[in-house]
Amino acid sequence: MKKLPKIITQEEFEVLLKEADKLEKKTRSKLKRRRLKECRIAMLLGFEAGMRISEIVGFEDKVPALTKENVESASIRILRGKGGKDRIVPRPKRLNQTAVDLLPLKLKRRALQDFITKLGDKVLHKQITFHTLRHGFASHLLNSGRPIHEVQMLLGHSRLDTTGVYLHANPIKAIEGARDIF
């Protein structure tokens, strides 16, 4: 049996976002404030659009960083994502024009990953990575009743069984469902 992915709930994501906002507000340094704004934007793109870290900040010369030209009113075009594939994901409603104007983000992959890990430890008291946000996106969609093929398309998975891992990410919900029937 495959290991279940780590996920965070919508409520846990809101706690992370609130803490990121607090950190930004109390920071005096203009440079640090910009970095925290960029971390917040990346968090929204991970959890509310299901984007990979490499699709946001780029990865060597294989995956270009997200630019404002790729952001439309309701969607975001990802060019040459994992496996060289293009796809379209929903634009988070909270990704306002001010945030879009900051693209491409100047964050380094490692700095973003460290920020998310430390934030998760601090406010959720659990180990999370940036990819945990993407897992939360997938699980939240499936738990809300979205068809698995739609989620597969949004995540850019070639194989349905890769997306199927998220169907098992909430064992409590599965147990409650079984109890309702029997």
Grade residue 1 by pLDDT with cuts at 50, 70 and 90: low
The lowest-confidence range among 5-9, 23-27, 131-135 is 5-9
| Cα–Cα nearest to 37, from 94, 78, 90, 77 | 94
pLDDT tens-digit readout, 4-19: 668 899 999 999 999 9
Strands (E), 20-154: 75-78, 87-90
Q: What is the CATH number of domain 10-176?
A: 1.10.443.10
The percent of the chain in helix, strand and coil, each rounded to the nearest 5, is 60, 5, 35
Domain residue spans of the chain: 10-176
Grade residue 120 by pLDDT with cuts at 50, 70 and 90: very high
Q: What is the pLDDT of residue 30?
A: 94
